Amino acid sequence: MSEDGAPTADDVPNFERYARQMVFAPVGAAGQKKLAAGRVLIVGVGGLGSWVAELLARAGVGFLRLTDDDRVDEVNLHRQALYAQADADARRPKVQAAAARLRQLNSQAAVEPIAQRLDHRNIAALADDVQLIIDGTDNFATRFLINDYSVKMARPWIFAGAVGAEAQMAVFVPGQTACLRCVLDELPPVCRDPNCRTAGVLSMPVAAIAAFEAMEAIKILLGRLDAVSPYLLKLDLWSNQVQRLNLARHRNAQCECCGQRQFEYLQP
């Protein structure tokens, strides 16, 4: 075990619970050991992050760091996994409630709850020792911050968002794919940045796109970058429409972030 209690590749935890998962050829026993040694930062454990955290814990990912400064609220229970009515009644910090539930789901996973909002001051400390960053946020300012850090430190990250009955997801791998700012070169104005409060949100697209996030995370932790999705995937579960945007076509050599390596969102 590592100093923080997370399994390492040399450990041999009880893999019996993953028997059906290991039958899948790309995983196998060797892949399951890689997952047990995997280290992930999940930024935000609301709708998206809570579902992703549960899926990764159940899959046997060894270390999950959760960061969020919010508390469980009854109005969010319809779309957020891990939380119960008692958590909302007590206004428990999300990371504490999530960590407790994840440990119940899989005692082999080490879960580190950090009751902080990710910003330019703490991102290095929170992300330096993980292999992958997963977006569970609801705003583009934080996503641009994650993108800057990802490009600067060559750390892959997975973006996702859900509003109404729609959801979208993309994997950004520095040096291999476009970055978020190749696709969206500036923060959208508030009036063009709909969120759950202004546009509403259903639980179904949240759970659906979180499953895509978790699947891409597993591929990365297994070292299967060849299988990672090259698309920005958009789902509309109300109209049953699926769209794919090829990110390779949007890679921009003049991008201020990945092209010119200017990381303004990491600055004070």
Which residues carry out catalysis? 196
DSSP 215-247: HHHHHHHTT-GGGS--EEEEEETTTTEEEEEEG
User: CA-CA distances (angstroms) from residue 255 to 92, 184, 185, 236, 259?
Assistant: 41, 10, 8, 29, 5
**DSSP track, 88-137:** HHHT-BHHHHHHHHHHHH-TTSEEEEE-S---TTTHHHHHTT-SEEEE--
Looking at the DSSP bridge assignments, the partners of residue 43 are 67, 135
- Which of 216, 203, 200 lies closest to 48 in space, CA to CA? 203
Q: Which are the contacts of 160, defined by CB distance < 8 A and separation ≥ 6? A: 48, 135, 136, 167, 168, 169, 170, 209, 210, 212, 213
Bridge partners (DSSP) listed for residue 247: none
